[in-house]
Structure 1
Amino acid sequence: MTTTEVAEKLVQYCREGQHTQAIDELYADNIVSREPKGSPMELTEGKEAVKGKTEYWYASVQEVHSGEVSDPVVTGNFFAVTMDMDVTYKEGGRMPMNEVAVYEVKDGKIIAEQFFYNMG
């Protein structure tokens, strides 16, 4: 798959709430995932660890009120999307989240992802 095809497929999965399927199909085994400095999951390496991080996040959520994922912006082997969510967490209450996610693709698989958002 091209970078554009990977980007479009990831956005489709995210909009459908199929994050685990996206990881299974689109992520490389040696994926590197980065969150903002100081976050509990600042660096996660490997497909299974990234899947575990995603499942942990979903387990912490009480209710997703709304969520939007932008169309991807693609250049070379990179693409970016914005993600806006309104979520109530089991601990911490309701919180809006706005983030930019940047992905790197190699050989038709996502090899790196990095999320940019304000913490707290």
Structure 2
Amino acid sequence: MASIEDIARDFTALLRAGEFETAGDRYWASDVTSIEPTALPGGIRATASGVDAARIKCRARFGGARIDEIGIDGPFVTGDQFVLFLDMVLVDPASGARQPFAEIALYTVRGGQIAEERYFYD
């Protein structure tokens, strides 16, 4: 089994490359829990459990905007967790408007997979 450092580095490399779904497919546990600070538009609850629910929540989170730029600091690993600091530019596909977005993401790894992801942002 890969070490948490290896998992964190590979997961982060996939995100930097824009391979968000691949990162989830490769590292999310089947019962992953994904937690936002608040509920999302469209009636999406703040906490999603399971890969399908987490995928739906992640898509709803940006409201259809695409990530045009991403900068990531980390991973910073301690115990069974790692943290990433993410700075992104989101682009609304309809208007082309660009909006900066920053967040902290905390990941908990169990059995070689991400069992929980928790996001912090305004």
With the shorter chain as reference, the TM-score category is: 0.7 to 0.9
Q: What is the number of equivalent residue pairs in this alignment?
A: 117
CA–CA distance in structure 2, aligned partners of residues 60 and 46 of structure 1? 21
- How far apart are residue 16 of structure 1 and its match? 0.7
- Aligned with 1:79: secondary structure? strand
- Aligned with 1:113: secondary structure? strand
The root-mean-square deviation of aligned C-alpha atoms, in Å, is 2.1
- CA, structure 1 residues 22+65, in 2 after alignment: closer, same or farther (shift >3 Å)? closer
Q: How does 1:59-98 map to 2 (within 5 A)?
A: 60-61=64-65, 63-90=66-93, 93-98=97-102
> After alignment, is 37-46 or 98-107 more displaced?
37-46
Q: Which residue of 2 aligns with 1:43?
A: 47
2:22 maps to 1:18 = no
2:119 is matched with which residue: 112, 115, 119? 115
Please, what TM-score do these two structures have when normalized by structure 2? 0.84
- Aligned with 1:70: secondary structure? strand
- How far apart are residue 58 of structure 1 and its match? 6.6
Cα deviation 1:37-60 (Å, max 9, x = unaligned): 243441111012222333445771
Please, what TM-score do these two structures have when normalized by structure 1? 0.85
CA–CA distance in structure 2, aligned partners of residues 27 and 115 of structure 1? 15
Percentage of pairs with the same residue? 26
- Aligned with 1:72: secondary structure? strand
Q: 8 Å contact 2:40–2:60 — kept in the other structure?
A: no
- Aligned with 2:74: secondary structure? coil
CA–CA distance in structure 1, aligned partners of residues 4 and 20 of structure 2? 18
What stretches of structure 1 of length at least 5 have no aligned partner?
A: none
Cα deviation 1:69-106 (Å, max 9, x = unaligned): 11200000000001101112247843210100000000
- How far apart are residue 2 of structure 1 and its match? 1.4
